[in-house]
Structure formats: C-alpha cells, structure tokens
Structure 1
Amino acid sequence: MTKSFFYRHRHLFGASILCIALLVAALFAYREAQAPALPPSDDAAAAMLAELHQSTAPWTVHRRDLSTLVGDMRNGRIASAALSDEAVYVTTQDDQRYWLADQSGRIGEMILRDYGRGAVLFPVSLFDTDGEAPWYSELQRQWLLLSLLLIGAGLLVWKMRPHQALKHNTGIRFADVVGASEAKLALQDVTTYLRNPAAFAALGARPPKGVLLTGEPGTGKTQLAKALAGECGAHFIQVTGSDFSSMYFGVGIHKVKTLFRTARKHAPCIVFIDEIDGIGRRGEQSRSSDAEANRIINQFLTEMDGFAADSGVLVLAATNFPNSLDPALLREGRFDRNIAVGLPGLAEREQLFRLYAGKIKAADDLDHTQLARNSVGLTPAAIAYIVNHAALLAARENSTQVTMRHCVDALETCRIGEQPSGTSALSEAERTRIAVHEAGHAIVAAALGCGRVEKVTILPRGQALGVTLVTPIEDKRLHLESELRARIQMLLAGRGAERLHFAEVSSGAGQDLHEASKLALSMVATLGMAPSGSLLSLQAVRDAHLESDPREALNEADQLLQELDRECLALLQRLRPALQSITQRLLDEETVAGEEVVKAVRRLLGERMGEAAPARTCHLERVAASPSNGLDPYFDLAVDELPETGPGMA
C-alpha cells in the first residue's frame, strides 16, 4: 500500500481510528459498570494470595471432596479461601491446606451465594481468573465479530485498488528492444511530449492522449511500452484489461478512478493497459454484468477526456484483437495513434537469434543468418522459444554445447510440432496413402513456387502422421491473386494425388478442404477475386447490417475450388513420375529433403518450371497428415490465415 494511497484516504483512516477509540472507551465503561462486587479481603486473604502466586503445591498435594468443604464451612474451621476458574483453594484455622476441582464453577457460586445474603463466613479472594486478565482479553472475546468485520472492510478497500505496479524506471530502452523499428519511429514524438509536455502546450499543439499497439501475440508490445517509459524517464503503471472487472458492484469504476488519479499524481506517467480488449465492448445491457461493464467503459472514456494538454499522462494500450474494442475508445481525442507492431525482418531475426544464443552455451557452428532465413513469419517470442528448446534438446542428449543441429530441430518443432514418443504402428496401406498425400503437396509446392520445400516426412510430428515443411522465401505483406490460387492448389494437391494414385480419396483431405474453402471464400467474398468478376464485398454488407444471401458467394467459391482442382490434377498428371519417385523414397527412407523434390520436379518441367510458375511466397508453414481417430488417417494442413478483410498493403 503506497504512501499516496494513505494520503488520498486519510479521512477514511482517521474516522476509522476515531471509531475504534470510541469503542474501546465504551468497553471500559461497560466493564466498570458490570464488574461484580468483590468479597471483603483482610490480611489472611492477602497472605494466602501471595503464597498462591509463589506456588500452589501446598494446596494441590491435598485434594478433598465437596463434603469436606461443606463440613468445614458449617463448623467455621475455614480461615480463608481463593476461587479460580477451575479450582477452589482452602486454608483452615489449624493451617491445613487443600483444594477442590471446580471446572463447572458451581462450588464458587455456592460460596458467593452466602456472601450475597450478607453472611461473612471467611475471607474469599479471586486467584488466576479471567477477572485478572488484561482488559483487551474481553475485547477479543466480545468484539471478535466486529474485528473481523473491520478487517473485511479493509480488505475490500484494498481489493478496490487496481493491481498496478508503479515503477519509476523500467530499466529498458529502445535499443534493448530488437525489431519493431517502425513502431519505435512512430513513438518518437510521444517520447518528446513526455519529456517536455509544456513545449507542446506553449505551441498550442495537442499531444496524443492514447496510443494503441496492435499486432500478433509475441511481437513485443509489452517490451515496447516499457522501453517508451524508460526512454523518457516517466513513471510506468502496468495493468490488464481484466483487472477492472469485479464481482462487487461499483468496484470496477472505483479502480478506474484510482488508476488515473495515481497517474496524474506521478506525472509524467505512462499507463500501460495490456489486453485492453478485456474491457470489452458496450452491450445492450440484457444482463446486470453488461450494465456494469458499460459503466466501466464509460468511466474510462470520461477519465481520458479529462486529461489536460500538459498533464504529462499517456495511456498506452495493447491488444491482439483491435476489432473487439468499443468504437468510442478509438475515436480522435482518445486513442489518437494506432501503431501496428509487425513481425521482425531478416536482419532483426538474426539479431534476435544472436541475442538469445548469447544467453546459452552455444557452439561455434551456429549459423544465425541461416536460422533467420528459415524463420520467416516467426515472432520474437517464437525465436526465444526456439533457442530455449534447442538448449533443452542439447541437455536431453547430455551435450556440452548447443549445436546447429539442435537449433534446426527446435525450429522444426516450433513449426510442425514435437516428435511423439510412442505411436501405434501403421499398416502398409496407410503408410503408402500418407506418402502419396505428402508427395502430392511437396511436388505441387515446388512446381508452383509456393515457398521453399524444406523436407517431406511420413514420420509423425505432433498430431500429424506426416508433414511437408514449406517455409516462405521472403517477408511479404501483399498477396497476389496468382499466389492465392497457387496456395489453394497446393492445399488440394494431397487429395488430388490420392485420387490419381488410388482412384479414390480418403478422409485425410478433410482439413485440406477446410483451409482451401476458407481461402476461396475470402477471395470471393472480400477480395474481389470471384470467377464471375463480382466486386461486392460481403464484409461491407455485414458492416452495413444488411441482409444478404450467401448462396451466390458459396457457389462462386465452390466454382473456384473446382477450377483450381482441375488445374491441380492436370499438373499432377504431368508430374506423375516425380510423384511416384518421391512416394517410393518416402516409403524407403521416411524422410526426403526438399532439394530432392525440387530436382525431381525440375527434371520434368525443365526451364518451363520457372516460366510457368514464378517464385511465390505463400507463407505455408506445414502440410501434415493427422489422424481423425485411432484407425483412419486424417490430414491436417496448417497455413497462415489471412485476415477477414483480406490481405492489404501496409
């Protein structure tokens, strides 16, 4: 609990302390009013108490029953007595001492009853009872429930604070963040503003209030936010979108207020909200939870509108799903900047491999440049995983260094999954069908130039029974129609090879058709690549909340798939010798290098291979055959999905 929190709530804490003091005073008054009158005490009783405090042994060695006590009381033989919570100690006129057990307290009540009637038989005192306990013991017993309630109230106030971590220096600069060069360049004016907000206000310039970082998971958005705070020397508060939700009504709104109040107090300050899509979008309030979420968003918008131009507070948010944010958050005057954090380029991937390889015991044969070429489309988080997994593979083999072979195996694991330790043996017919399927994917990918064919194997990897690994040749953000058509043909090639070789298809092409259908629908419905030439985007129709009949788009997508399937079959027919050769090699050796596939295709197409199909980059990571159940092979094709709105120029 920070000092500023105590300062902001000093009135609440002062009132709480005053209430506790009043309760203690009332308890004292109640205790004095309810204290029972003690029986008279003389020198004999005082002397007995002094001896009891020193030792109770002279009494406890002699235990008597109730009849002895009653007889001594009737005969007047008792000189003094002392009552405790569990015993009665008696001293007689002839200096004999004994005790009686009194756990129920009835013997003590009997003795005190006589005093209540006005008869003073002998001096009686209290020894080691609750009446001699400290005053706060009664408070502990009688006000335990009140103490628990006060503790619960304090915990509730603590829970109403957002889980914020206020840092004065994050210790990270832009130079420490590898990649994201475009994002760092876009944040330069933000850095200048946070260093000197008064200069912006003097010129009448309105600095940005909020910056939204978007991009794929693992691209380094959080590190970029910390680097921005470290670059300009601002305070840094990190929360997540889910921190504002609570089971208690109104707590989320209080958390938003507390967060922004803290940021203003520690300006210049950066408030970083990771996964801001957790705040959500305002709904129709059909449920009480929707109403509470709407109030949280409204309070968030109000706080952002309340910023002054020179307040020195910047809200930095990150999300992987920008389309799920409320449109009111993205308007001008709130999140003024929308910065896309892209994937690292070739040089940046090489820097990342060098950075993470420097943290392990790497061998001298590590080729960072080659690893960077083979990791097109991977995020910095994926590269960190690859290097760490390579170290795990080296440790598994009891190797003293991490070699290039370990890194290549880790790279393949990242793309196509782990090698399963125990799998059931496949029949010869299943192995042949998987080999034909994977060979079809490989030769069509090589013929159409859909990236670099790295390897083809019928060994299980992850959930796949066979894998064709195809990596992109270069970083691309713009996809041509010819590239997308080639990609669909590659997806359909496994099914086409089965039909050409066995005259029958299997369930293994199910996932292939799923991916090909999604791509064909995207081409027809959003990219204007329909066979009929239609340019209407169904995405725009949905955004306009208009009713549309999807049957025409479905028919055109099916027509496109049929057309590309015929072209794929014709290409496979021309490459049938290569299909048979690669299939046999897979059955014999289980793994075939990509160079052999390219050579087999080039022998048949010759120079026409480059003319008919120029090199393309389809960003296909793998083509894998996976089981749909324990018996039948099921083919899984994993590709990079295009956005719903289709590829665009960035």
Structure 2
Amino acid sequence: MKKTFFARHRRSLGVITLCILLLAVAAGSFWYASQPKATPPGDASAAMLQQLQQSSDAWTANRRDLSTLVGDMRDGRIASAALSEDAVYVTTTDGQHYWLADQSGRIGEMILRDYSSASGSLFPVSLFDTDGEAPWYSKLLAQWPLLLLLVAGAAFVAWKLHPPQTLKQRTGIRFADVIGAGEAKLALQDVTAYLRDPAAFAALGARPPKGVLLTGEPGTGKTQLAKALASECDAHFIQVTGSDFSSMYFGVGIHKVKALFRTARKHAPCIVFIDEIDGIGRRGEQSRSSDAEGNRIVNQFLTELDGFAADSGVLVLGATNFPNSLDPALVREGRFDRSIAVGLPSLAEREQLFRLYAGKVKASGTLDFAQLARNSVGLTPAAIAYIVNHAALLAARSQQTEVVMQHFVDALETCRIGEQPLGASALSETDRTRIAVHEAGHAIVAAALHCGRVEKVTILPRGQALGVTLVTPVEDKRLHLESELRARIQMLLAGRVAEQLYFHEVSSGAGQDLHEASKLALSMVGALGMGPKGSLLSLQAVRDAHLDSDPREALQAADDLLQQLNRTCTKLVERLKPALDQISQRLLEEETVPGEDVVAAVEALMHESLGNVSVLPGHTPHMERVAASAYDGFDPLFDLALVDEVSDEQTAGPGMA
C-alpha cells in the first residue's frame, strides 16, 4: 500500500511546523513589546515614562541649568519629573521638555529632599532607566529569540561533535542465528570468554585482545557476527562507521574518537564495532590540510587503543573489505591482535540460508533447497536473501498465491546475469544470428574445457547484455590451477573467436569479454607467476617496495598470453564447429537452450572424434592430465598442451575476408 505524502514526510513536516510556530511566537512577542501600553488617565508620571521609553529626543534637545529647575520648582511649573543615573528629565505644565545632567546625583538628592520636607503636594517624580527598575537579566530576556537561536546552535555543535553511535544492551542476535562463518565463530570463542570475565585474564597475567579485525567479501555477515558476539558476551554494543570520524571542521574527528572510547569505557563490558574501518584511512605525507587532519585522527585512534587496561572490558571490532587499506600501525600486534576472515557459505550452509529466508515468505512446500544451494556456488548470504526476496516479488508480479520453485530459479538467474529488460527493441535477423553464434561459442568451449556447469544459453537480452551464457561453478574453491584460469580465458574469448570463424569479422559485443580476460591475464602475469615467459616477479611487490617499474613488459606478457590462448581457442572452436552449428541454429529457433543439450552436443562430437586420432596431425593422444586433472572427465583430445603443440601453419584460423 502506497503511503500518503504526509505519512512519508511526517517528521520533516513536524520540524517545519515547530520552526514556524517559534518564529510566529517571536514575531508576536516583538510586536507586543513595540505596542504602546495604555496608561491610567491623569497619571502624568506614567505617561512621561512611556514617552521616554519610546524616545527621549524631546528632552535631550533642550538642556537647562540648575537655576531653571529651581525656579520652575518654586513657581510650581513642573508637571512631572523622571530621575535617571546621570540625568533629570522635566516636563512643565505648559508642555515644554528639558533635561539636566546629573552625573553626581546631587540634583536628584535635592528633589527628593524637597519632597520629604514639603507639606503640600508637589509634582510627580519617577525613576527612569535605573538599575533598580528591573533585575540584571531583564535586558537579556528582551532578546530571547536571539538567545534561543544561540542555544539551538550550541546544541547543534554538540550533536555534531558527538559521534553518531547507537548504544545497545541487547542486539537480539546470537551465534546460533548466524548461519555459516563457522571458522569465524570458533575464532571468537576466546574473545567471548574474555568479555564475560576480563578479571580472570588479568589475574593470570594474560593480555586479552584489544581489537579483532573481520575481513571478507561484502555481504558475508560481518555485521551480524559482531552483533551476535555482543549478545553472547552480554555486553553493550556500539556501532559506528569509519567515515563517522571525518568532519569539515578541524579537530572534530579527534573529539569524536575520544568521546567514543570514553562512552565504551563507561559502559564496559562493551564492544565497539567499526564498520568499514578502512574509512579511517592511513597516515601519509601531509601535502594538504585534510591529510594532516586524517593523520591526527589515526594517531588518536592508536592512542586510545594503547590506553586500554587489561581488565577494562572493552573490545574494538573492525570490519572491512579492504584490509590492505588500513594503516600498518593499526593492525599490528597489541592493537588489532587478530584478523579473522569471514568466508563464503558452504553447500550445507547455503541450503540452511535458503530455508531460513524462505520461511519468511509464503513459499511452496515443494521447494528443492538442495538444488538451489548447488546452483548458488560463490554467493554470499546477502545475495541469497536478495534471491528469496526477488522470488517473492516475481510471485507477486505474476499474481500467484505462493512462491514456487520457478520463481526461485528465475530470481537466481536474475542475481547472476541481470534482470530481463521489458520492452526491448527487436533485433534484426543479422544481429540475432551474430549473437547466437557468439553465445554458442562461449557455451561449447565452457562445456569442452569443463569451466563449470553450463546452465543455459539464451539470446534474450539480460541486463546490459544482448545474450547470456550462464556457467556456474561446480564446487567451492579457493585454489585455482593455471589450467583452470587458462580455460576460463578461452571461454571468455570463444564468443569473439566464433564470430570471426563465421563472419570473418568481430563486433563490439566482445568488449566485456575482453575486459574480463585482460584482467585475468594481467593477474596471472603480474601476481601469480603464470606468464608465457615464466617470470616469477610480482608487480604488487614492486609497488610495495616503492620502486619505479615499466609496465610495458607486463602488458606485453599479458597480451602474449591472450594471443596464445586465442590461437588455442580458435583451434578448439574449429574442431567443435558441428556442435557450434547445432547450438547456434537451436538458439535462432528457440532463443534459449538448456545447458544439458550443449554438453550432450559437445560430448557426442568428442566421442565421434576419439575414433579418429588423426585430428591432430603428427601426434597421438595421451592420458597425462598434469594440472588439468582437477576437471572431472577431462578428455585428452582437448588437452591444452596437445593443442598448443600443433603448428600454426597446419591449423591456422580464418583470416579477415
């Protein structure tokens, strides 16, 4: 249900209304103060005071001496008089006004003495602009709108100086509620024991950890782990971000750091969770004033970490996706004593996550959570939560009463390859043919080199892509062999190679493929020691040593690797051309081909070719798998080493027509 405008902006409207009311009250007060007050009839003294408060120009324009005042008093010509600290104001019976200077106060004493000795009624006398008329703060109260603005400004400055922290006693999340991150939970067990009883550690002379750094990809559950740790330890929880300490005002960031740790020590045991701690930055050369302020913030943070007592009961928990961006002094031993990597969920944990989030929506009871977990290799808990929520949105879009398996499959594909655009313009038959050949090239090479599980191939636009080949990892892997990386680069180049084989010309559709292949080749050459020339030098080590280096050699090595793998991929696509023809034709007819049909077409061609080993002239296939042994069912016909040994003259690819 869509909220109304007032419901969506009720807080802003309330603040605006309050400000308008304050301004209206201030304007009304000034208007009321400026209005002349009604005086009782016949009260000459009150009337004179009212005129003096409005303007004293009528009196100050005429100055008289003491003789004039004495003469007017004897003759009874004074209608009223007003005494101030340094002057006497007189109004005569004929309407004249004048004043006399009275810095010493003697004239006022004379008038009051005559009042005390006279027997008859004299002219009325009042006091004007003296300290005894009102208390000392009367003038300040007259300026209350300005005072209100000053108080509001001071409160705003105090609020800006105070770090935006949220102090909680209970987070409502425990380790049992956090699915996955089993290794991180085990690593936090001794931290839990310390926060529960810090005095026991201090009694043994053990130095408890002061800081723990959580690293990992975005969405792996680092924030959830921090909240669960606070609940397990029954400790207060303060959550801030690294960017909260930066400010446009000099010195404010340092004050925020001090206030944060002061609050943590006051509410010990306490966990200070700093999300995106890399936002604090690292110290460097002070070339700008902003750099100096950032260095001072880091220095203050280091000082606060060193100021912890052994039994203070305060733990700093940091989370970042870029641990290399932190200052080395911040992550040294004695400050952030431990670095815990929060990894991706395993197969069983992904199934639990799907069950957890599916329980929050109205899902069908026939869901295959095991299949969903197998098809979501490499996804984070945040991505799985998005998939379940998007499946519910798809069900609502199709006006279904419950979320079924097909909705989850479509949501999983959307997460991996993007949303299917609505109202996309129709492509010409030539473009459809080129896209079909391009995607079929990706698919058959991925199936032949076992780059992963080929799920589907489609020439329907998804996201920014005009066609998609969905290849998912078969298993969770942290270690990748050189042969696997080479196979992935060939899969990325296969679409462009297929276009060149069919049309003798390439298109711009391979731009993103070349981008990904170039990144992978640069990583192999500059960081992993997998270049074609066998260089073992790491470019990252050169940068860390602050040495000047010429990148042209590394770029040339990466290009040589890409050229070598492009030739290998061309030879492979030529041998798989019947499968390429078959899959391309089916894509033009059906627009989407299941991955099982692609694998079947490639396997049929491979079994047919095994009967004729003369496909590789001058060589006989062997069963040595070397690094490629990680691929299940790897066929020697497509062994990378064998294909590379074939001379370029014998199997040259098609040139440009």
Alignment-derived partner of residue 64 in structure 1? none
Distance 1:389 1:45, change over 3 A: same
User: Equivalents in 1 of 2:55, 2:596: separation in Å?
Assistant: 95
Query: Would you say the 8 A contact 1:524–1:553 is kept in 2?
Result: yes
Distance 1:222 1:267, change over 3 A: same
User: Equivalents in 2 of 1:493, 1:218: separation in Å?
Assistant: 32
Alignment-derived partner of residue 75 in structure 2? none
Alignment-derived partner of residue 5 in structure 1? none
Alignment-derived partner of residue 386 in structure 1? 387
Moved more, 240-249 or 182-191: 240-249
Instruction: Please give the secondary structure, in 2, of the residue aligned with 1:419.
Output: coil
Alignment-derived partner of residue 335 in structure 1? 336
Mapping 1:366-381, distance limit 5 Å: 366-381=367-382
CA-to-partner distance for each residue in 1:561-599, whole Å, 9 max, x for gaps?
A: 111111111111111011011001011111111011011
User: Equivalents in 1 of 2:360, 2:608: separation in Å?
Assistant: 46
User: Equivalents in 2 of 1:387, 1:85: separation in Å?
Assistant: 80
Moved more, 500-509 or 374-383: 500-509
Moved more, 560-569 or 329-338: 560-569
Query: Match for 1:200: what amino acid?
Result: F
Instruction: Please give the secondary structure, in 2, of the residue aligned with 1:272.
Output: strand
Alignment-derived partner of residue 469 in structure 1? 470
Distance 1:570 1:152, change over 3 A: same
Query: Would you say the 8 A contact 2:79–2:124 is kept in 1?
Result: no
User: Equivalents in 2 of 1:510, 1:355: separation in Å?
Assistant: 39
How far 1:607 moved relative to its partner?
Answer: 8.7
The answer to whether 1:354 aligns with 2:328 is no
Query: Would you say the 8 A contact 1:86–1:105 is kept in 2?
Result: no
The answer to whether 1:118 aligns with 2:119 is no
How far 1:199 moved relative to its partner?
Answer: 1.5
Name the Cα RMSD after superposition.
3.3
User: Equivalents in 2 of 1:500, 1:491: separation in Å?
Assistant: 15
CA-to-partner distance for each residue in 1:236-289, whole Å, 9 max, x for gaps?
A: 111111111112111111111111111111111111001111111112111111
CA-to-partner distance for each residue in 1:519-569, whole Å, 9 max, x for gaps?
A: 111111111112222212122111111122222222222221111111111
Alignment-derived partner of residue 572 in structure 1? 573
User: Equivalents in 1 of 2:160, 2:167: separation in Å?
Assistant: 17
The answer to whether 1:193 aligns with 2:188 is no
CA-to-partner distance for each residue in 1:160-188, whole Å, 9 max, x for gaps?
A: 11111111121211001111101001000
How far 1:84 moved relative to its partner?
Answer: 12
Query: Would you say the 8 A contact 1:83–1:124 is kept in 2?
Result: no
Instruction: Please give the secondary structure, in 2, of the residue aligned with 1:378.
Output: coil
Q: Which runs of 5+ in 2 are unaligned?
A: 1-35, 61-77, 81-89, 96-121, 127-132, 611-621, 633-657
Query: Would you say the 8 A contact 2:214–2:342 is kept in 1?
Result: yes
RCO higher in structure (CA 8 A, sep ≥6): 1
Alignment-derived partner of residue 305 in structure 1? 306
Alignment-derived partner of residue 228 in structure 2? 227
Alignment-derived partner of residue 545 in structure 1? 546
Query: Would you say the 8 A contact 2:220–2:382 is kept in 1?
Result: yes
Alignment-derived partner of residue 532 in structure 1? 533
The answer to whether 1:480 aligns with 2:466 is no
User: Equivalents in 2 of 1:123, 1:502: separation in Å?
Assistant: 118
Instruction: Please give the secondary structure, in 2, of the residue aligned with 1:315.
Output: strand
Normalised by the length of structure 2, the TM-score is: 0.74
Distance 1:405 1:146, change over 3 A: same
Query: Would you say the 8 A contact 1:45–1:125 is kept in 2?
Result: no
Query: Would you say the 8 A contact 1:263–1:269 is kept in 2?
Result: yes
Distance 1:403 1:137, change over 3 A: farther
How far 1:104 moved relative to its partner?
Answer: 11
User: Equivalents in 1 of 2:609, 2:577: separation in Å?
Assistant: 16
Distance 1:182 1:120, change over 3 A: farther
Distance 1:607 1:361, change over 3 A: farther
Query: Would you say the 8 A contact 2:180–2:345 is kept in 1?
Result: yes
Query: Match for 1:599: what amino acid?
Result: A
User: Equivalents in 2 of 1:84, 1:272: separation in Å?
Assistant: 70
Distance 1:354 1:138, change over 3 A: same
User: Equivalents in 2 of 1:114, 1:582: separation in Å?
Assistant: 117
Q: Which runs of 5+ in 1 are unaligned?
A: 1-35, 47-79, 88-102, 127-131, 618-650
The answer to whether 1:177 aligns with 2:198 is no
Distance 1:125 1:182, change over 3 A: farther
Instruction: Please give the secondary structure, in 2, of the residue aligned with 1:577.
Output: helix
User: Equivalents in 1 of 2:157, 2:588: separation in Å?
Assistant: 67
User: Equivalents in 1 of 2:427, 2:492: separation in Å?
Assistant: 24
Alignment-derived partner of residue 155 in structure 2? 154
Alignment-derived partner of residue 638 in structure 2? none
Query: Match for 1:443: what amino acid?
Result: I
How far 1:148 moved relative to its partner?
Answer: 2.5
Alignment-derived partner of residue 293 in structure 1? 294
Distance 1:160 1:504, change over 3 A: same
Normalised by the length of structure 1, the TM-score is: 0.75
Query: Would you say the 8 A contact 1:458–1:467 is kept in 2?
Result: yes
